[in-house]
Amino acid sequence: MRTRKLPPVGWIGAGRMGFEMAARLAKGGADVLVWNRTREKAAPLQKHGAKVADQLTDLASREIVFCMVSTWKDVKEVVQKLLASNEKPKLLIECSSISLEGSAELRQLLDAKKIQYLAAPVSGNAKVIKAGKLSFVCSGPKKAYERARPLLNLIGINSSYVGEGELSRIVKICHNVFLGVVTQSLAEITVLAQKAGVPRHAFLDFLNQSVMGSTFSRYKTPAFVNLDFKVTFTPHLLRKDMDLGLDAGRRFEVPMPLAAATRDLIQSMIGQGWTEQDFATLLLQQAEASGLKLKPENVEVGDGLS
């Protein structure tokens, strides 16, 4: 029933996050045609009801096309190919983490073709999507947002509309600046609690259930407790986002002392060679600065997602 009302969707990008997003959309009943550079990665989406396109241009006839790739360079490349087709979608929803400048350039490209454009970056990682807790922050024409909303609701738990143009991009940057500051502060207090005698898992168990706990603090807990730093977001990427935040702070004349201090701690971490693991190795740097050698606690702790 519901699917009758849902417009046909094209989906570009079946990476770690794009895959899970498309899966939720398909499972929710939408008619989804997926394209991915490496076709095989998209294939398993078929078991959720999605179709897989051979060519990117096959998606041009879809009413709404989502884009979830890596960098602005990738976004530009795939959108230009899409626009080279005879047909064109009515609405493009771009969810990758790209800069304001990239987003504005994309808007020009699409405006020229009279395609509506919704900038819709997200909060969460692949596991968060799977757990149905992804949230979107959207900007662009309000009508585009209204059109997208039923689809966004199938993918995640919530979407917020923050205004015209590329405003959602700056909100996403603010979100990531906050994430950096929160992680460093968690590192400071977790190491302090541990040196005082409180095991990390006990400390974080309380914090996660306290008013300060967040989905984020919960899903970072296994890393902090058992020192599993498999990368979800690299120190270089976090530094880049902190710098985007500080750049915005300069432009809008907003001093950001905590963001700036955190940025330099991330730089120190990179300078000391912690570059290949997750940014949560901020905990390791904090421990070293405190004369402490951390060991995994080997305690089974939940991530609040599964």
Whole-Å CA distances, 198 to 192, 206, 220, 225 = 9, 11, 18, 12
Least gap, CB of 15 to its own copies (angstroms): 19
60 binds its own copies (CB under 8 A): no
Count the neighbouring beta carbons within 10 Å of the beta carbon of residue 172: 27
Q: How far apart are CA 168 and CA 165, in angstroms?
A: 8
- 8 or 163: whose CB is closer to its own copies? 163
Whole-Å CA distances, 31 to 38, 133, 198, 259 = 21, 22, 51, 42
Contacts for 224 with CB less than 8 Å, ≥ 6 apart: 186, 190, 200, 204, 280, 283
Tell me how far apart the 2 most distant CA atoms of the chain are, in Å: 67
- 1 or 211: whose CB is closer to its own copies? 211
Among 255, 276, 299, 302, binds its own copies (CB under 8 A): 255
248 binds its own copies (CB under 8 A): yes
- Number of residues in contact with its own copies under rule CB under 8 A: 84
Cα angle for residues 235, 249, 100 (degrees, 5° grid): 70
Cα angle for residues 251, 179, 159 (degrees, 5° grid): 85
Among 15, 124, 222, 235, binds its own copies (CB under 8 A): 124
- 226 or 290: whose CB is closer to its own copies? 290
Among the residue ranges 17-25, 33-41, 54-62, 172-180, the one whose residues contact its own copies (CB under 8 A): 172-180
Cα 81 → chain centroid:
24
253 binds its own copies (CB under 8 A): yes
Least gap, CB of 292 to its own copies (angstroms): 8
- 43 or 258: whose CB is closer to its own copies? 258
Among the residue ranges 3-11, 24-32, 147-155, 249-257, the one whose residues contact its own copies (CB under 8 A): 249-257
Least gap, CB of 245 to its own copies (angstroms): 7
CA proximity to 180, closest of 101, 270, 302: 270
261 binds its own copies (CB under 8 A): yes
- 35 or 274: whose CB is closer to its own copies? 274
153 binds its own copies (CB under 8 A): no
- 60 or 119: whose CB is closer to its own copies? 119
- 62 or 220: whose CB is closer to its own copies? 220
Among the residue ranges 3-11, 29-37, 40-48, 155-163, the one whose residues contact its own copies (CB under 8 A): 155-163
Contacts for 119 with CB less than 8 Å, ≥ 6 apart: 94, 103, 107, 138, 139, 140, 165, 166, 167, 168, 169
Which residues between 75 and 104 bind its own copies (CB under 8 A)? none
Report phi then psi at 78, rounded to 5: -70, -35
256 binds its own copies (CB under 8 A): yes
Contact at 8 Å (CB) between 304 and 218?
Answer: yes
Which residues between 177 and 206 bind its own copies (CB under 8 A)? 177-179, 181-182, 184-186, 188-193, 195-199, 202-203, 205-206
Least gap, CB of 83 to its own copies (angstroms): 28
228 binds its own copies (CB under 8 A): no
